Amino acid sequence: MYEKDGEKYFVVDGHVHFWDASPENWIEGQEQYAKGWIECFYGYHQLGPEEYYWPMEKYQKYSEETMMKDLFEDGYVDRAIFLPTYLRSWYKNGFNTIEQDAVLAEKYPDKFILNGRFDPRDGDEGLRQFEQDHEKYGFKGIKLYTAEWHNGSKGWSLKDPEATRYLEKCEELGVTNIHVHKGPTIWPLNKDAFDVKDVDDAATSFPNLNFIVEHVGLPRIEDFCFMATQEPNVYAGLSVVLGALMHSRPRFFARVMGELLFWVGEDKMIWASDYAIWHPRWQVEMFVDWDYPEGHEFDDFPRLSTEGKKKILGLNAARLYAIEVPPELRLPEAATDAQSVEPTVS
């Protein structure tokens, strides 16, 4: 919870990692990729304020204590959502698997929400595995990487018939929050891997599922915006948007926020720190203080009120994940309407 000028903000961090990119976890022969990956993340890390920089050694692998303190003691976070990132071809135990996340999620059930993953190219076996994982962990959401390589395949699409089976399974199991990574990526080489058209199709076919587009399709925000404006169940995942731009490029951050507020709207934007790429503390503080900079170029963008900031920092995600928000942290109308926030199940 963050409090400023008498206003209280319930904070849900929509995208966090507990990764291991230490040299001990690099696969022999793949070291340059494993090293290159974490160095690439480290470049993004340095777009935040300097006083939050970590040394590389800590950045490669951080402890449970560090994470708990950064998020929940210093970072104002009430609830954090784990999104797994496998990368098993470079990291022996994976970069950030469900199992790694589950250790913390099970130890601190009132702090973390554990999300699952699947890859439709795993066919029947993958579907069974997903069901087993769900039985074990009780997912409410999943993270998908459509551009990931797999057994000679150079990526997949949410429109694929195989993917449809998996999404039907999500609907059946009540795994309603589908986070799709549409942002900076590597493969497939000659394709535009940021293309969000498949999300458009899936969102139409599955109106009961929510599609959270992580990194808002960066660097193709326009395609994402034009699509999201037509699909009521598509949300903007703001990881990277705040972290990479708010501190280092404030004027462009304002333009990007203005566009998102115009096309997508404050009810469908979800903040995330992308920890440990960036610390949540400065993001929460700076965002609560944020307004458009001086200049007429921002005149016709929608304004963002305190209420809008409360939604983006936590209340929107709380709604999608049925997280119970203490009455004093709800919006005035919501506080009187018990129906609007479902009690938490897990």
Residues in contact with other proteins by CB under 8 A are 32-33, 36-37, 39-40, 43-44, 46-47, 154, 184, 186-193, 218-222, 225-226, 244-245, 248-252, 255-256, 258-259, 263, 295, 297
Work out how close the CB of 200 gets to other proteins at its nearest, in angstroms, rounded to a whole number.
16
DSSP 8-class letter at 169? H
Report the residue number, 241 or 312, with the smaller CB distance to other proteins: 241
Report the residue number, 107 or 197, with the smaller CB distance to other proteins: 197
Q: For residue 144, what are the β-bridge partners?
A: 180
Report the residue number, 154 or 165, with the smaller CB distance to other proteins: 154
| Dist CA 248 CA 36 (whole Å) | 23
Work out how close the CB of 185 gets to other proteins at its nearest, in angstroms, rounded to a whole number.
8
Give Cα separations from 254 to 214, 221, 257, 294, 304 (angstroms).
19, 14, 5, 10, 11
| Dist CA 135 CA 208 (whole Å) | 21
Work out how close the CB of 236 gets to other proteins at its nearest, in angstroms, rounded to a whole number.
13
Report the residue number, 118 or 287, with the smaller CB distance to other proteins: 287
Work out how close the CB of 276 gets to other proteins at its nearest, in angstroms, rounded to a whole number.
16
Work out how close the CB of 47 gets to other proteins at its nearest, in angstroms, rounded to a whole number.
5
Strands 210-214 and 234-237: parallel
CB 200 within 8 A of CB 194: no
Read off the tokens for 34.
């494993």
Strands 269-270 and 234-237: parallel
Work out how close the CB of 174 gets to other proteins at its nearest, in angstroms, rounded to a whole number.
35
Read off the tokens for 140.
């409410």
Report the residue number, 40 or 345, with the smaller CB distance to other proteins: 40
- What sign results for the dihedral spanned by CA atoms 183, 184, 189, 192? positive
Report the residue number, 129 or 248, with the smaller CB distance to other proteins: 248
Report the residue number, 187 or 342, with the smaller CB distance to other proteins: 187
| Size of the chain in residues | 346
Report the residue number, 103 or 186, with the smaller CB distance to other proteins: 186
CB 235 within 8 A of CB 270: yes
Work out how close the CB of 269 gets to other proteins at its nearest, in angstroms, rounded to a whole number.
15
Report the residue number, 61 or 154, with the smaller CB distance to other proteins: 154
Phi, psi of 201 (to 5 degrees): -65, -45
Work out how close the CB of 23 gets to other proteins at its nearest, in angstroms, rounded to a whole number.
16
CB 111 within 8 A of CB 293: no
Closest CA to 44 of 244, 181, 219: 244
Work out how close the CB of 270 gets to other proteins at its nearest, in angstroms, rounded to a whole number.
19
Closest CA to 222 of 250, 187, 197: 197
Contacts of 52 (CB under 8 A, 6+ apart): 278, 279, 281, 282
DSSP 220-273: -HHHHHHHHTT-TTEEEE-TTIIIIIITT-HHHHHHHHHHHHHHT-GGGEE---
